[in-house]
Structure 1
Amino acid sequence: MVVILRSLVSKVVKMSNVLLFFITFSMILLSTIIIFSIERETFPTLFDALWWVMTTVTTVGYGDFYPVTIAGRIFAMFLYIFGIGILGVVIGKIVDSFATIKRLKEEGKLKYTGAGHIVIFGWSKKAEIAIHEIINSDEKIEIVIIDQLAREPFPHDRVIYIQGDPSVENTMMMANLQNAKAAIVFADDTIDNSVLVDGKSLLFVSAVEHYAPDVYTVVEILREDHIKNFKHVNVDEFVLSHEMISRLLVQSTIQNGITDVISQLLSRSIGDDIYEIEKKENWITYKDAVVALMNDGATLIGAGNKLNVNEVLNEKIPNDVCLRIICSKETLEKIISR
C-alpha cells in the first residue's frame, strides 16, 4: 500500500500544472456531488456539500458539517487520503511558482509588459542617481534597467531588471522598448578609452533607433567630436559630460554658489524645480503667460529649447510649444488644475 501511494504521489508531482489543476477541480466537484447524493439530510444543498469538501481537503475542519452514515464516513476517509494529498501537491506547486517568478524577476529573465516607461542602458552609479531622480519626479512611471549582471541591481517596486546584451533585439523586446517613453544611455565608466566608451554608447543607441525609432533617446557622450556620429543615427538629445562638468567648475569660480542653484533646479528633491506645461487658451502672447504665471508664484524661463522669452513678450505663443517654468510642485499642481 505504501509503495502504491508513493508511486501515485510521484506521478502526481510530475504532472503538468494544467492537468493537475484540472484533476483537482474535477475531484472537488465530483466529491461534492457524491457526498450530496450519499447524505441529503446532512448536506441539504450542493453548496453545503462543497463547503464540507473544501474544509476537509484543506484540513481546516470547522465541524459544522460532517457525514453520519457509514457510506459517508467511508467516502470521507477516501477524501482524507487522496484529496488532501492532491491539494497539498497543488498548493506546493503554487508556492513553487511564486518562488520561480520571484527568482526569474531577480535574475532579469521576465519580459516587461508595461508601457510609458523609461529604459536605462547599463548599470552604474550615474544610473542609480538617475533612478532616484525619476522616482522622485514621477510617482507612477516605471524604469527598466538593461545590463548583464547576475541579479537585479536596484530592488524596487517600480524598477524592473532585464538581463541581456543591450544591443540585441531580443533584449530590447524583453524590455518592451517599442512602448517605452524614453531611453537613456550612460557612458560606461569601466572603460578608460573615451573612443571605446562613445563607440559602445553609439552601438546601443543605434540599436534603439533601429528597433524603436519613435522612442525619445538621450545619450551621454565623452568627446565633442563624436557628436556628428550620434546625430547621424537621429539621437534626440546628448549630454557632453566632461564639457558640462568643466563649464560648471569654471562658473563656480566666477559666480560663487552657482552649483547650488543648478543642483536645486536639476533635482526634484531640493526646492523649486523646472517643469513643462502646456499653453492655456487665454495666453495669447508670452507676456500673458509671464504675468499669469507670476501671479501664481511661477517663473516662465523658456519655450521649447529657447530661453529668450523676455525678449519676445509681445509675440504669439505657438499652440504646440511646451513652456518651461520654475516653481514648487504645489504651485505646478495649482496651475495644471485650472
Structure 2
Amino acid sequence: MVQHWLAKFLRLPVVVTIFLLASFITIIFGYIIHLIEPDNFPTVFEGIWWAVVTTATIGYGDYAPVSVAGRITGIILMIVGIAIVSSYFVSLATVAVTMQAAYMEGKLIFKGHQHMIIIGWNERSKELISTISKKNPSKKVVLIDETLDTMPTEYKNVHFIKGRANLDDILLKANIHQAQCVVITADQNKNELHADMNTIITLLAIKGTHPTIRCIAEILTSEQVENARRAGADEIIQSNVLTSSLILNSLESHSTMNSILNLIRDSDNHHLLTCEPVDEIIGKPFYEACKLFLKKNKMLVGIQRGDKTHINPPQEFMIQQEDIAVVITK
C-alpha cells in the first residue's frame, strides 16, 4: 500500500511534488517546535507560522526558539526547508519558461470556444488575422501551419498550432468541435494543383471530424471547384479567378477599378456584399427593393437565388421567397 501511494506521489508534476513535500515538512517542523517549546509556541499554528517564515527566509522574529533543542530543530529546518522551497521556485520558473516555449512553438492545446480556425500562413491569412484583430480584438483565432517554427504574429488573440491540418490530432488540438468556422488558404509552397488537392484532403478531415462546421476554402484551379464542394466546402473562394477579373477590369476601366479597390481597402467602414434576408421585399420588383434598402442606408446590388447571384438584375426582376439580398452596408 505504501509503495502504491509513493508511486502515485512520484508520478505527480515536479512542481506539485515539491510543493506538497515543502508543505509536509513545514507542518511537521511546526508541530515539533510546539512540542519542544510549548511556552514560546502555545499552538501548532504558531509553530507552523514560524516554520513558514523560516523556510521562506523572512524571519519576522515574532517567534523564535530559545532552547538548544529548539534551535537545533531550527537549523535542520533551515538546511532542509530552504533547499526544498528554493527548488520549488526554480521548478516553477522552469515550468513557466517551458510553457511559454511550447506556446510559441505551437505545441499547446487551444481550450477556447466560438473561435475561427485559419489554416496556412501566407499574405492572405496574415491580412485576415490583422483585420480581425483590429475590428474585434476579443475574437479568438487559431492558426494552423506546418511550415512555421514559432508564432508568426504578436496579436494576443491568436493561438498558433504547428502541424498538418488534415490530421485528427491537430484538429483536436485546435478544439475543432467548439470552433465557429474554418478558413483554408491555398498552400503557397505547392503548385496550384497540389495545393488544391491538399485543401480538399483537409476539407475531408475537417468534415469527418466536425460535419456541421462552416468551411471556407480557397481553390486555385477551376477543375477542382466541384471536388471541393463534394468534400464539404460551404463556400469556395477562387482567388485566381478574382485576380484575373480585377486585372481585366483594370485594363478596361482605370477609374472604375480604383473605386472598387478603394471600397475594398476601406473595409473598416464598409461591409462589402453582405447577405441579408428579403422578408419585407418578397413579391416586389428589384427597383422597389433598392428604394427600401436605401432608406436603411444600405445599397442593394444583387439577389442570390440558389447557386446563382444576379448582380444588378433588370428593374422588373421580382424578389422571391428563398432569395437573399446582396448589399453594401456602412
The 1:317–1:43 alpha-carbon spacing in structure 2 relative to 1, beyond 3 Å, is farther
Corresponding residue of 1:183: 182
How far 1:71 moved relative to its partner?
2.9
Corresponding residue of 2:269: 271
Contact 2:50 2:64 in 1 (8 A): yes
Q: Distance in 2 between matches of 1:54 and 1:189?
A: 58
Corresponding residue of 1:156: 155
Deviations 1:234-260 (A, max 9, x none): 210111111111212233344445455
Q: Does 1:326 align with 2:324?
A: no
For residue 104 of structure 1, the aligned residue among 96, 102, 127 is 102
Q: Distance in 2 between matches of 1:161 and 1:183?
A: 14
The size of the alignment, in residue pairs, is 311
Q: Distance in 2 between matches of 1:81 and 1:324?
A: 75
The 1:142–1:209 alpha-carbon spacing in structure 2 relative to 1, beyond 3 Å, is same
How far 1:20 moved relative to its partner?
3.0
Contact 1:115 1:176 in 2 (8 A): yes
Q: How does 1:142-221 map to 2 (within 5 A)?
A: 142-148=140-146, 149-191=148-190, 193-221=191-219
The 1:159–1:15 alpha-carbon spacing in structure 2 relative to 1, beyond 3 Å, is closer
Q: Distance in 2 between matches of 1:194 and 1:250?
A: 21
Amino acid in the other structure paired with 1:326: T
Q: Does 1:125 align with 2:116?
A: no
Contact 1:142 1:159 in 2 (8 A): yes
The 1:313–1:228 alpha-carbon spacing in structure 2 relative to 1, beyond 3 Å, is closer
For the residue of structure 1 that corresponds to 2:113, the secondary structure is: coil
Corresponding residue of 1:8: none
Contact 1:284 1:317 in 2 (8 A): no
The 1:43–1:225 alpha-carbon spacing in structure 2 relative to 1, beyond 3 Å, is same
The 1:16–1:227 alpha-carbon spacing in structure 2 relative to 1, beyond 3 Å, is closer
Corresponding residue of 1:52: 50
Corresponding residue of 1:336: none
How far 1:155 moved relative to its partner?
3.8
Deviations 1:48-80 (A, max 9, x none): 443332222122223343333333322211111
Identical counterparts, % of pairs: 25
Deviations 1:239-287 (A, max 9, x none): 11111112122333444454555455545764333596988xxx95589
Corresponding residue of 2:237: 239
How far 1:133 moved relative to its partner?
1.6
How far 1:216 moved relative to its partner?
0.9
For residue 61 of structure 2, the aligned residue among 60, 63, 82 is 63
Q: Distance in 1 between matches of 2:47 and 2:258?
A: 72
Q: Distance in 2 between matches of 1:264 and 1:49?
A: 74
Q: Distance in 2 between matches of 1:150 and 1:243?
A: 32
Q: Distance in 1 between matches of 2:44 and 2:156?
A: 43
- RMSD (CA atoms): 3.8
Q: Does 1:80 align with 2:78?
A: yes
The 1:289–1:40 alpha-carbon spacing in structure 2 relative to 1, beyond 3 Å, is farther
Unaligned runs of at least 5 residues, structure 2: 1-9
Q: Distance in 2 between matches of 1:180 and 1:34?
A: 55
Q: Distance in 2 between matches of 1:225 and 1:132?
A: 31
Deviations 1:187-240 (A, max 9, x none): 12222x322221121121221122221111111111222211111112101111
Q: Distance in 2 between matches of 1:254 and 1:242?
A: 19
Q: Distance in 2 between matches of 1:292 and 1:68?
A: 91
For residue 136 of structure 2, the aligned residue among 120, 131, 138 is 138
